[in-house]
């Protein structure tokens, strides 16, 4: 028998605010958790000390459980020739803003799987919930986190990935459909992406796995939550729905875009970071995506993108801003996080009535 998601996570409502690096904040996570759902912070782009600060900042705002998200990608393989070719291809775009590309690129995000200091930080702080993206850490690390009292969630995009996560000993599966905004959680993107939709994936996992399934991708309201639960999901994870909350760190341009026509035509692109991710298209998707040069590994490619975004931003141009969003983006609502949680709960109750 699957364990229900609410007692497993120590929450009242089967709703998780997705851990969106660059958008999630301790204030957002705490507001969601204080409202009875599960707030999340993303530490995949953080050092262990930065992670400690974010966890402690969130704890200062809530005594309730919240989720801490990690990136478990395969570490990048540096290729100076490929990276130099990519920078040469980007040079004309930098020149438009009177800037030069960086002299070299770095692996800006360290994989959790290659960061024992991050493991030590988590074992010391013992967050209630830890979620894993892009893959799984070593089995011994899974056992250590569970031994420290952490509930482990693993993002999966296929039944095969779900089987690996279940064998590793995680407690629940986040079933990420192709509709979801942000980075795809595919374990091995070089082998392709089956691009399963949220509802199909939820149904497959509900039939094949003994673990609770959390639906993620395209869910924006109580009706969407009810639909996912009807197909076997124990709960949902929602990211784009929370971007317009005042507690998020989304920029004014990002918020305006989410309320405009670009929100209705999100796309999945690999060119932004080196891994497939869904966002609102702009010159970054179109012009960088059209470059004829080999793309460096994730997250090395993201270092180049961030430099280009910074150069454009310094010149007052937001045409290259990275603005992730899922296919349900036009349904986003602008309200405080606690009010959004209450609205979702009311909508879910009405849908079930």
DSSP string of 241-259, one letter each residue? GGTTSTTS---HHHHHHHT
Residue bearing tokens 């998707």: 285
| Bond prior to 218 in cis (omega within 30° of 0) | no
Distance CA 201, CA 193 (A): 13
* 280-282-287-292 Cα dihedral, nearest 10 degrees: -10
What pLDDT shows up at residue 353? 80
Cite the beta strand spans of 157-315 per DSSP E: 172-176, 182-183, 213-216, 235-238, 267-269, 277-279
What pLDDT shows up at residue 76? 96
Domain residue limits, the chain: 5-73+109-250+331-352
Are 285 and 200 a contacting pair, CB within 8 Å? no
Run means of pLDDT, 10 residues per run, the chain, 353 residues:
89 98 98 99 98 98 98 96 98 98 96 98 98 98 98 98 98 98 97 97 97 98 97 98 98 98 98 98 96 96 98 97 98 98 98 88
* Helix axes 80-96 and 300-314, enclosed angle (nearest 10): 10
Q: Is CATH 3.40.50.1000 the right assignment for the domain spanning 5-73+109-250+331-352?
A: no
What predicted TM-score, i.e. pTM, was given to this entire model? 0.97
Distance CA 305, CA 319 (A): 12
Residue 12 has phi, psi (to 5 degrees) of: -95, -35
Instruction: Give 3-state DSSP helix, strand, coil % of the chain, rounded to 5.
Output: 45, 15, 45
């Amino acid at each position: 028998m699957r364990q229900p998601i609410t007692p497993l996570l120590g929450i009242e409502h089967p709703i998780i605010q997705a851990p969106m690096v660059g958008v999630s904040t301790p204030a957002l996570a705490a507001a969601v958790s204080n409202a009875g759902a599960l707030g999340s912070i993303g530490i995949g782009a953080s050092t262990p000390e930065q992670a400690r600060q974010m966890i402690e900042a969130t704890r200062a705002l809530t005594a309730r459980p919240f989720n801490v998200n990690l990136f478990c990608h395969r570490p990048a393989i540096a290729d100076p020739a490929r990276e130099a070719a990519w920078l040469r291809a980007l040079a004309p775009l930098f020149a438009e803003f009177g800037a030069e590309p960086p002299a070299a690129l770095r692996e800006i995000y360290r994989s959790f799987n290659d960061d024992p200091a991050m493991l030590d930080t988590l074992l010391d702080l013992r967050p209630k919930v830890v979620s894993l993206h892009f893959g799984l850490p070593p089995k011994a690390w899974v056992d250590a986190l569970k031994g420290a009292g952490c509930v482990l969630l693993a993002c999966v995009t296929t039944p095969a990935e779900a089987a690996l996560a279940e064998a590793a000993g995680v407690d629940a599966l986040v079933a990420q459909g192709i509709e979801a905004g942000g980075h795809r959680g595919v374990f091995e993107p070089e082998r392709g992406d089956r691009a399963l939709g949220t509802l199909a994936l939820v149904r497959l996992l509900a039939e094949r796995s003994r673990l609770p399934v959390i639906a993620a991708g395209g869910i924006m309201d109580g009706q969407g939550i009810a639909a996912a639960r009807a197909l076997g999901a124990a709960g949902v994870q929602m990211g784009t729905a929370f971007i317009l909350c005042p507690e998020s760190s989304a920029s004014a341009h990002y918020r305006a875009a989410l309320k405009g026509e670009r929100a209705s035509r999100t796309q999945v692109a690999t060119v932004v970071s080196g891994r497939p991710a869904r966002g609102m298209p702009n010159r970054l998707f179109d012009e960088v995506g059209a470059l004829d040069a080999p793309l460096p590994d994730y997250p090395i490619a993201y270092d180049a993108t961030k430099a280009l975004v910074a150069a454009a931003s310094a010149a007052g141009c937001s045409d290259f801003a990275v603005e992730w969003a899922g296919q349900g983006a036009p349904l986003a609502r602008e309200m405080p996080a606690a009010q959004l949680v209450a609205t979702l709960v009311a909508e879910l109750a009405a849908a079930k009535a």
